[in-house]
Structure 1
Amino acid sequence: MPDFEEIKQILDDSTMYYLISVGMDSNYSYVNKRYQKIFNNVHGNLVGQHYSVTMHPEDTKICQSVSEQAFMNPGKVFPAVIRKHDGDGGYVTTKWEYKAIFDKNDLPGGMFCIGHDITELVLNSSELKDTKESLTKTQYNLAEINYIQSHVVRKPLANIMGLSNLLESMDITPELGDIIGMINESAKELDQVIRDIAAMK
């Protein structure tokens, strides 16, 4: 479980990713701050509750299947797309990677998962496909540009920002720290430009 403890230190305060662990009793044993914040209004404190409380009933089978694969293949990561209750009678779509936890005696200890919300990506992709023929060429191009700015551009930019923040917290030389700081500042400026352009639409 040391690898999970290290990941917890990095992602407990993440603004992008969910991080959870589920014990062998199928109850949440840990959720990071982002996951708790997003689903607190729907389910309250999740630690101690059954993992299925947050998800679409049909997706529990996906979760069980992926978990079985992870336990049968220690050290490997397995993906899953899971729908979660949004508190308004609908669902958000989330994408996860599952990895089994084993104790020092190599006995199963539970499951940890890293995920993020892909609802907007799924909806935008579907909406662009469904409405392509009904929009004028100009409207479609604007919608496509907005989609690219929101997802294609911002995703790697967010990754750069996250990695530079992580590097800043490491033991590095002052010179390298200055360079990382400049990269981080430039990434923030570009992020703000993208946000400003999106706000003008």
Structure 2
Amino acid sequence: MTWEIFNAIGTIAFAISGAIVALEEDYDILGVYVLGMVTAFGGGTTRNLLIGVPVSEIWDQGPLFMMAIFIITIVFLFPSGALKHWGRWGTFTDAIGLSTFAILGAMHATEMNHPLSAIIMAALLTGSGGGIIRDLLAGRKPSVLREDIYGAWAMLAGLLIGIDLVNQTWGLYLLFVAVVTLRMLTVKYGWKLPHRQFTDQKKAHM
């Protein structure tokens, strides 16, 4: 049941996120569906490639596919005026998708008895893989690869599950809330990872 709940929450959140990004980039209806679907299922597909699960398993998720299509349709038909206020809610749903899929990725790798490094990477790629593909298709720089703290929270979830610090159902839900909260605090307070502006330094020496 925990698997199913997390999977449903993550799929809905990322389907909304992908559809909204497509609308922001003025994509047509096909582009909205494509971005919504790849955001919702891209992370799981990437994870399967990493940990050795047949990629074809993605096609066994018929109910989730139908649910994603339904959600994307609602977003596409939603009044434009209401979507103007999306910035705040878009970040929230993206945080929910990140948290749920990071936990799912770590749980999946753990059940397959993979080492800690693989569990952490499974959490990272499942939580942010769909968002990376979405951003690339939308012509944006992927958030996870910039200084914004995004993928680090997914890796933290993978670490806690991988070292068996979080293993009970209540602990997983608590971890879900924690990752969502940390992601929202990152956005609110502008927390960033260390980075170097190589371009500016290069210009300064010219």
Normalised by the shorter chain, which TM-score bucket?
A: under 0.3
Taking structure 2 as the reference length, the TM-score comes to 0.27
Taking structure 1 as the reference length, the TM-score comes to 0.27
Q: Indicate the structure with greater helix content.
A: 2
Answer with 1 or 2: which has the greater Rg: 1
